[in-house]
Amino acid sequence: MLSLRWVLKTGLIVLIAVMVGAGPVWASNAPVVDGLAAVLMDVETGEVLYAKNPHLRCPPASTTKIVTALLALERGELDRVVTVSLTAAEQEGSSVWLMPGEEQRLRDLIYGLMLGSGNDAATAIAETLAGSEKKFAVEMTKLARRLGAKNTRFRNASGLPAAGHYTTAYDLALITCHALKNPEFAMIVQTRNYTLPGNRLQKERLLYNHNKLLWRYEYADGVKTGYTRQAGSCLVASATKDGHRLVSVVFRSKHMYDDSQALLEYGFDEFRLVKLTGEMFRETAPVQAGVTPSVAAIPGRDIMAVVPADAVGKVRVKTMFKPEVEAPVTCLEEVGQVQLYLGDKLLDAVPLLAAEAVPRRTFLFNVISWFRRLFVDKSRYIQRFFRAGSRLG
């Protein structure tokens, strides 16, 4: 790794509204949660703001359907027509009353999955996209692994009890944060009611979202409830306040709505998201032997961190450039690094990239530059001469 040197003074960054760091940062007044396991996570950064048994394997019940919906949105064509099989229509548990042979668009089935918690919709989606629910569950597990959920395994698409079907509060929070960045998913899970279209076999059905937090808590905007006798009551919830989005996961709780709201309010009260976007960043990196002496530097991504609300004023940004950035410089070539600090603690580090290419100076370029300077200097001399003469006259 090339050494870096300080070239710019320290400055304060702009506050938007949320946090990140090397590990969980909990305030002293964290809520008491009834649930067996719980996590509060910042959506932007993945920072854990509260945890109770975060890595305990738990049956997720219908919160499983978060992964079913995400995989369907990533893999399927939403206007594709799905024909419901007898197997799907006969699924036990919660249902959106699908009939064998009924045709529905994939989009409508996902609404039925997430609002009405239809196990029949889950199986119909799985069979259509993977050939069987078993194969679809394998793909769900692969998706979870890809997103960093290493302590999760799915056996079906609905969350019905099955041996070896489990996740953790941490893993499901991680998956949900990713899912909420999908605009279609985010829109579906905040929808309070939806009409499942009718057809030759069924009348239209008005579905109401099972997530009562959407009515109870003004900032709530998702995502999914779950219940089986084995899993108990489970809730994955999201809320957004002043541009700051949080996700809570509560497993096996007798008071899942109270637990979830308490966690979300705790997050909004105690933490702030500090964020510096590329549009806010205005720095230049020195370039040696280039046709220009410097190049505009832009961060490779937004610089952000979640910090305690009372520590926002202590956050600093430091910018460093490589000691020798020599032309030619290619567009998006790394030229330095910007770092975010709370006191002496490094919160975030993002590469600085060249905003444009800088060619190397050539002999011809040097000659042309010399003549240009000579002409400019001569013109200035002549102008001064005539100005002096006019004063004498």
Residue 178's closest CA among 264, 69, 275, 299?
Answer: 69
Active site residue 253: no
Kindly report the CATH class assigned to 37-273: alpha beta
Active site residue 94: no
- Summarize the chain as % helix, strand, coil (round to 5): 35, 30, 40
pLDDT at 393 over 70: no
Q: How confident is the model at residue 136 (pLDDT cuts 50, 70, 90)?
A: very high
The two three-digit tokens of residue 23, written as one number = 């590990």
Q: What percentage of the chain reaches a pLDDT higher than 70? A: 85
- Tell me which of 52, 65, 224, 322 is the catalytic residue: 65
| Domains in the chain: boundaries | 5-15+281-354, 37-273, 362-393
Kindly tell me the sign of the dihedral angle through the C-alpha atoms of 119, 176, 129, 80: positive
- Tell me which of 9, 52, 94, 117 is the catalytic residue: 117
The predicted model scores a pTM of: 0.84
Query: Any residues with CB less than 8 A from the CB of 243 and at least 6 apart, and which?
Result: 16, 17, 18, 273
Active site residue 117: yes
For the stretch 237-269, pLDDT in tens is: 999 999 999 999 999 999 999 999 999 999 999
| Identity of the highest mean pLDDT range in 134-138, 322-326, 334-338, 372-376 | 134-138
Residue 237's closest CA among 227, 256, 229, 253?
Answer: 256
SS3 of residue 48 by DSSP: strand
* Cα of 62 vs its chain's centroid, Å: 22
**DSSP labels, 181-246:** TSHHHHHHHT-SEEEEPP-SS---EEEE-S-THHHH-TTEEEEEEEEETTTEEEEEEEEEETTEEE
Supply the pLDDT for residue 327: 87
- Tell me which of 3, 9, 52, 62 is the catalytic residue: 62
Residue 283's closest CA among 346, 335, 340?
Answer: 335
The two three-digit tokens of residue 365, written as one number = 């370029």
Angstrom distance (rounded) from CA 111 to CA 192: 10
For the stretch 192-240, pLDDT in tens is: 999 999 888 889 999 999 999 999 999 999 999 999 999 999 999 999 9
Q: Which CATH fold topology does 5-15+281-354 show? A: Peptidoglycan synthesis regulatory factor (PBP3), Domain 2 (2.60.410)
Instruction: Give the type of residue at 6.
Output: W
For the stretch 157-189, pLDDT in tens is: 999 999 999 999 999 999 999 999 999 999 999
Supply the pLDDT for residue 374: 56
Q: How confident is the model at residue 16 (pLDDT cuts 50, 70, 90)?
A: very low
pLDDT at 15 over 50: no
